[in-house]
Amino acid sequence: MSEIVLFKHLIDPEVRNIENYIKLGGYEGLKKALSMNPDEIIEEVKRSNLRGRGGAGFPTGLKWSFMPKGEGQKYFVCNADEGEPGTFKDRYIMSENPHQLVEGMVIGGYAIGASVGYIYIRGEFEFVAKTVQKAIDEAYNQGFLGKNILDSGFDFDLYIHLGAGAYICGEETGLINSLEGKTGKPRLKPPFPAQYGVFGKPTTVNNVETIACVPDIIRRGADWFLTIGPDKNNGTKIFAVSGHVNNPGVFELPMGTPLREIIYEHAGGIIGGKKLKAVIPGGSSAPVLGPEHLDIPMDFDSLKKVGSMLGSGAIVVMSEDTCIVEAFTRLARFYAHESCGQCTPCREGTPWMYKIMKRIEDGNGKKGDVDLLLDICKNIMGRTICPLGDAAVLCIKGAIERFRDEFEYHIEHKKCMVDNKIPIF
Amino acid sequence: MALRFDENDMKALEKIRERYPNNTACTLPFLHYAQDRFGYVSDDVIKLVAETLNLPVAHVLNVATFYTMFNKKPVGKYHLQVCTNISCSLLGARRLVDKLEEILGIKPGETTDDGMFTITEVECLGSCGTAPVIQVNETYFENLDEKKVEDLIESLRKGELDV
Amino acid sequence: MITVKINDREYQVEEGKTILEVAKEFGIDIPHYCYHPALSIAGNCRMCLVEVKGMPKPMTACSTRVSDGMEIYTDSEIVKEARKGVLEFILLDHPVDCPICDKSGECKLQDYYFKYSAQRSRYEFPKERHKVQKISKKIYLNPNRCVLCTRCVRFLSEITKTFELTTVERGSHTYITCVDPESLDNNPFASNISDICPVGALGLNEFRFKKRVWFTKKVKAICQGCSAGCNIYVDVSNRKQLLDGDDDEIVRIHTAENPKLGQYFICDEGRYSYKLYNDRESRVKVPVLEGEEITVENAVSLIKEKANVRKGVVILSPLHSIEENYAAYLFARERGFDVFRPSSFRKDLPEPALFIEEKKSPNDRMLKLMKLPKVSEIEEIDYDFALFLHNVGKIHSKSEVRILSVLKKSTFSVVFEPVLSEFGRNANLVLPAPIFIEENGCYINAKNLVQRSHKGVDYMYLSKPLWFFLDINFKSEEELLAVFAKEQLNIELDYNRLGTEGFEL
């Protein structure tokens, strides 16, 4: 069995209760952190090579170090807006091992000098939020939250903020606006949240999984964390596997675990023993891979090398019975639906791409449609306020580049080249 | 009759207000609360929230229409939100929608005449490992197939499930 | 100051400014829709993308601040391609109904399309349609033409803070809606949203289907409504069309920005004041002596004769330009006549007043700076000769009473005005004065800024500047300004020095 950092419920199914969590070393990290000075904590997190688990893979310690020093209101915000198609990992940290997140929030808050934290949970996860709220209440009762935590003089309040159905709030400045009670339209950067974040104050936003790694990094030390996973990609990663696999689910494995092992061992292989056709390795925005990539180590740098990305670590598996055109048309609809509408290329480009793809899927595609799609991709890429436009492009362009023949077949024959598919539309 | 929050509502809302440094930040939680309280976010609800928070109506309308969870029209007693995004679709979410259409005689976006059910197609609910999923009001029903959907509707009709 | 390169040329620029601001300063045009100098930066239209050396993707010129050594390209292949791409997107859902759009001819979408794109749309799907609505008594909204730059929303939330408009829904379904038509009706600045709309989505009901803008002449003028001195464009019809009114009829007034004044908007009262100037029935068309029309020559000689007296008075006007007033002043000084000034008409300010001034005259400051006594200080009202300058608009009612009695009691009284008023009716001789767009004239606003209003149309009927009637030997209005500035302010001033933004005293 590999190292367990986050999924402590696999050791004790009742770890969501604070007593059980404490028995497994819970809140020891916080006690240790409060005996250190904040810069030492940031240094330790930097040394651990912890990188953002939300999708970008940005070094967490470095991000924390961007926060201004000294007095003044600052905020620590947890991004629990989990909405990237295929992603369902943070949900299980929060529902099964919520104290891991709460402890991480207090440590992070102390490190960056924030006295208030918010956990931004997507609105649909209200049932998850209830579990987290219970954990927060328990932490207050035990003196891990509130005034003068463990007699350290450090005050930290933690609140849950529920989203209301908008993928764009997963983008950190969209999330900040949403937390401020506005539409989740991303902000122009600069200024970055570390200078001008929630309510105009310096703010750090981290993903649930990222924050949940922190208590163990502090308790067991960066050196221990470095022993897990390949260099610069250390720690465990929760891989969320869905689609055409026998045993879909979440698996906490060392970073760098080969894709083949995840799909065929942990997720039980392809349904019906079918052949693998395509696999999205990191949530819908990560360019799709093929069977030739099965031996790739699942970490930030290895996936980057093959032109894709680890993203959220959400693996969507598609068997030979999948119509790629149809599957990606569905994703194109998703991006069009979730574009906030603020900036021109994404607002206009994403629905246009969806309409063209839908017409191809429906058998009404025109010669030149594929090139037109690629041209639209070019006109969106890098020209928008936030990465949603880029994400849509990576998703669609990735599919076209890998499966262009399938698109062309649809256009030429006005039908799908796959029999026995489960209809999506 | 104009809508209003009663004393209990105001107490609950004041508790929410304590979590934030200003009124604007309360827009989402107040809208959530008002939707629970009044069933959906009507123009009157928008005005009420704006008034309660002393914010422009334009702001609350802007927010209320941006987020998909705020229902601007009344929905049925059971709001069947079927995820049709990639992972659910790969495992037959379309068949679930078809099944619901067949049983209830309505299309996504519509509500049954008896006001019991509304079908909505929604984006990824983060339930991909237990796909396909239908969220009924606030409760997830996972690992569904057509048979389970039939049973689900049956149980809902009988009022056997607390969602 | 820092050094930046724009299109391979070096410029010394102020730190902290944006690329767009810097480029504008040096006359380098960067196309944009959402940027507006008086509003917060939205960065949403993506039209102003420029290439910055070392940056992996094009940057929005409106939001990117210059830094020392920055190398910017506003016309590279990357930039051209980006603009073309953005224009295609912006036009996807646009109805392209230019033939019936009032913005046509001054529409940024049209201009940029021809300049930067000129390609056929590759979009072959039905377009989303909304109804055109009158969102206020003054304004209509055509959401189909909207490019969602949100200038209007920002204007109403940041400048007037009245929040009548907002965007609703999201993504490509986003549109602008009005939540409070009544508030828009009562908002004294509401009509600015028509000016700042870069396309034909917001327009004035009054101007709808009224005039193609290419059949108008834009006259840059100073608003006559109060002492704020707002810069305006007065659009006059320059081609008679079927069903149109007279030639040179004013069809609308809209904003001309003056950054020096920090003025980017005008009030609705000023905007709609143009109707006062279109009333040709009431114009004083020729010199009138005791109810009888006389020739201009006769008027000139008559004044010379009647003013050849010892006890005369000249009453200037805050409603007239420096040039007209100073001609009258010189006339008085030569003869040793008394000179007085009336008080301006005052009106309570709306809330918020923004830039509107209480004094409802454009040149109140000039007469104050000259330290002239008020008409209330006139001791004996029975002069041998009295001359009063009046204009469209009002003066303070107490001054009105006083001046009327001077005109009545004096042996021979002359009133110079464009529209016959109670003053003219009580004078022996009425002289036809031009209205403001018929002559060059300068005004000193409440903030001591001297600004020029331009002559845009010919003198109508037999109207002439006052110096002509008074037979003062000047070649132009400009000369009168120079003499005024030299004598009264001790500065050298001409139209050139005033420039487009005026001269601060």
C57: chain A residues, CB-CB within 8 Å: 382-383
Which stretches does DSSP call E strand in C81-240?
A: 133-134, 139-141, 165-168, 175-178, 202-204, 216-222, 231-237
For strands C429-432 and C412-417, give the pairing: parallel
How much is the pLDDT for C243? 57
By the 8 A CB rule, do A335 and A425 touch?
no
B60: chain C residues, CB-CB within 8 Å: none
Average pLDDT, chain C: 95
How much is the pLDDT for A420? 84
Chain A to chain B, count of Cβ pairs less than 8 Å apart?
A: 154
How much is the pLDDT for C380? 87
Cis peptide before C418 (omega within 30 of 0): no
How much is the pLDDT for C240? 62
Cα A84 from Cα C61, distance rounded (Å): 31
B70: chain A residues, CB-CB within 8 Å: 164-165
C149 touches chain A (CB under 8 A): no
Which H, E and C letters describe chain A, residue by residue? CCCCCCCHHHCCCCCCCHHHHHHCCCCHHHHHHHHCCHHHHHHHHHHCCCECCCCCCCEHHHHHHCCCCCCCCCEEEEEECCCCCCCCCHHHHHHHCHHHHHHHHHHHHHHHCCCEEEEEECHHHHHHHHHHHHHHHHHHHCCCCECCHHHCCCCEEEEEEECCCCHHHHCHHHHHHHHCCCCCCCCCCCCCCCCCCHHHCCEEEEEHHHHHHHHHHHHHCHHHHHCCCCCCCCCEEEEEEEECECCCEEEEEECCCEHHHHHHHHCCCEHHHCCEEEEECCCCCCCCECHHHCCCECCHHHHHHCCCCCCCCEEEEEECCCCHHHHHHHHHHHHHHHCCCCCHHHHHHHHHHHHHHHHHHCCCCCCCHHHHHHHHHHHHCCCCCCCHHHHHHHHHHHHHHHHHHHHHHHHHHCCCCCCCCCCCC
Distance from CA of B121 to the nearest CA of C (A): 17
Least Cα distance to C83 among C54, C110, C58, C52 occurs for C58
Q: How confident is the model at residue B104 (pLDDT cuts 50, 70, 90)?
A: very high
| DSSP bridge partners of B129 | none
For residue A380, what is the nearest residue in chain C, using CA coordinates?
A: C85
Tokens of C384: 């041998």
For chain B, list the contacting chains (3+ Cβ pairs, <8 Å).
A, C
- Please write the tens of the pLDDT for every residue from C17-34: 999 999 999 999 999 999
* Stated length of chain C: 505
Per-10-residue mean pLDDT, chain A, length 425: 88 97 98 97 98 95 97 97 97 98 98 98 98 98 98 97 98 98 97 97 98 98 96 96 98 98 98 97 97 97 97 97 97 98 98 98 97 98 97 98 97 92 92
- Cβ–Cβ below 8 Å for A163 and B21: no
- Cβ–Cβ below 8 Å for C168 and B57: no
Helix (H, G, I), strand (E, B) or coil at C476: coil
- Stretch 283-322 of chain A: residues touching chain B, C-beta under 8 Å: 284, 314, 316, 318, 322
Tokens of A103: 């402890």
C167: chain B residues, CB-CB within 8 Å: 62
Q: How much is the average pLDDT of C400-412?
A: 96
The ipTM estimated for the assembled molecules is: 0.97
For residue B70, what is the nearest residue in chain A, using CA coordinates?
A: A164
Q: Which of B56, B65, B66 sits opposite C163 (nearest CB)?
A: B56
Query: Is the pLDDT assigned to residue C158 strictly greater than 80?
Result: yes
B58: chain C residues, CB-CB within 8 Å: 157, 163-166, 179-180
B45: chain A residues, CB-CB within 8 Å: none
**Residue to substitute from A343, A360, A375, interface C, most C β-carbons within 10 A:** A343
For residue A201, what is the nearest residue in chain B, using CA coordinates?
A: B21
C173: chain B residues, CB-CB within 8 Å: none
> Residue A100, CB half-sphere, CA atoms under 13 Å: how many?
28
Query: Is the pLDDT assigned to residue C474 strictly greater than 90?
Result: no
- Cβ–Cβ below 8 Å for C163 and B57: yes
Q: Which of A86, A164, A337 sits opposite B28 (nearest CB)?
A: A164
- Please write the tens of the pLDDT for every residue from C325-351: 999 999 999 999 999 999 999 999 998
For residue A368, what is the nearest residue in chain C, using CA coordinates?
A: C122
| DSSP bridge partners of C12 | C3
Spatial neighbors of B46 by CB under 8 A, at least 6 apart, are B57, B60, B61, B64
How much is the pLDDT for C415? 98
- Cβ–Cβ below 8 Å for A161 and B29: yes
**Residue to substitute from C158, C162, C163, interface B, most B β-carbons within 10 A:** C163
Query: Is the pLDDT assigned to residue B1 strictly greater than 90?
Result: no
- What share of chain A in percent tops pLDDT 90? 97
Q: How much is the average pLDDT of B121-147?
A: 97
Q: What H or E segment, with its residue span, contains residue C250?
A: strand C250-255
Domains of chain C, first to last: 2-90 (3.10.20.740), 288-504 (3.40.50.740)
DSSP 8-state code for residue C238: -
Cα C199 from Cα C223, distance rounded (Å): 25
By the 8 A CB rule, do B83 and B122 touch?
yes
Query: Is the pLDDT assigned to residue C238 strictly greater than 90?
Result: no
Cα B113 from Cα B137, distance rounded (Å): 18
How much is the pLDDT for C357? 97
Distance from CA of A99 to the nearest CA of B (A): 20
Cα A50 from Cα A300, distance rounded (Å): 11
- Cβ–Cβ below 8 Å for C179 and B65: no
Q: Which of B59, B65, B66 sits opposite C163 (nearest CB)?
A: B59
Cα C349 from Cα C357, distance rounded (Å): 7
- Cβ–Cβ below 8 Å for C89 and A349: yes
Q: What H or E segment, with its residue span, contains residue C109?
A: helix C108-112
Query: Is the pLDDT assigned to residue B163 strictly greater than 90?
Result: no
For residue A181, what is the nearest residue in chain B, using CA coordinates?
A: B25
* Stated length of chain A: 425
Query: Is the pLDDT assigned to residue C241 strictly greater than 70?
Result: no
C-beta neighbour count of A173 within 10 angstroms: 25
Q: How far is CA C426 from CA A186, A400, C338, C374, C388, in A?
A: 67, 86, 20, 21, 11
Cα C63 from Cα A295, distance rounded (Å): 44
Cα B123 from Cα B69, distance rounded (Å): 11
C123: chain A residues, CB-CB within 8 Å: 352
Query: Is the pLDDT assigned to residue C242 strictly greater than 80?
Result: no
Cα B14 from Cα B8, distance rounded (Å): 10
Predicted model pTM: 0.95
How much is the pLDDT for C188? 96
Least Cα distance to A74 among A210, A207, A195 occurs for A195
- Cβ–Cβ below 8 Å for A84 and B124: yes
By the 8 A CB rule, do B68 and B79 touch?
no
Distance from CA of C97 to the nearest CA of A (A): 19
